[in-house]
Amino acid sequence: MRSEHAERDGKTFHWDDPPDGGHPGEAPGCRCWAEDVEKDCTAERLELRQIVEELIPLEAELVKLKAEISNLQVAIEQNIAAIEFLEDLKAALEAGALASRFPNPYVKIAGMTSAAAAQAVASKILEIEAELRENTAKLANLKKKLPKLEREVQSLKNQEKIAKDALDACEGK
């Protein structure tokens, strides 16, 4: 065995950074050989797995929160549209209720029917206004939670990238 080869015995070299004279077995007449050495990257894999296991439910929670916010925004728009429509309908029914003052019995019945319908519509408006207040309060609470959850998810994504890079470096990628 050549003396410079004996000095390399048991040492570890990277394939992309060979020792002077090349990898074992490459020099003419050299009977040395290279053995693959598996590096233990268990700690890096474990760290990445822990981060991912924490990240997945938070990402799901973020998607759910955004969907709830979107649904509440749609519900609020529908509440407002319904109130506007019912206000117009109530005004028309109240105008029709004036007919109850006429002496003609048929017109009087139509006017009384309009007055009763106007009261029913007014009751429905109050119900939708209460729902609108409730939806607006829920939306405000959900919007308060959103930035914190987004920061947590982003922080974990950053940690995930760092852990992936560490694992790749450990595995020699």
Tens of pLDDT, residues 94-105: 999 998 899 999
Alpha-carbon distance 173 to 165, whole Å? Answer: 9
Whole-model pTM: value is: 0.69
Q: Alpha carbon of 44 to those of 14, 34, 59: distances in Å?
A: 20, 26, 22
Q: How far apart are CA 130 and CA 136, in angstroms?
A: 10
From 123, 127, 126, 128, select the one nearest 79 (Cα to Cα): 128
Which residue carries 């959103």 as its tokens? 146
Q: pLDDT tens-digit profile of 26-62?
A: 777 777 777 766 678 899 999 999 999 999 999 999 9
Residues 165, 43 contacting (CB under 8 angstroms): no
Statement: residue 159 has pLDDT above 70: yes
| pLDDT higher than 90, residue 173 | no
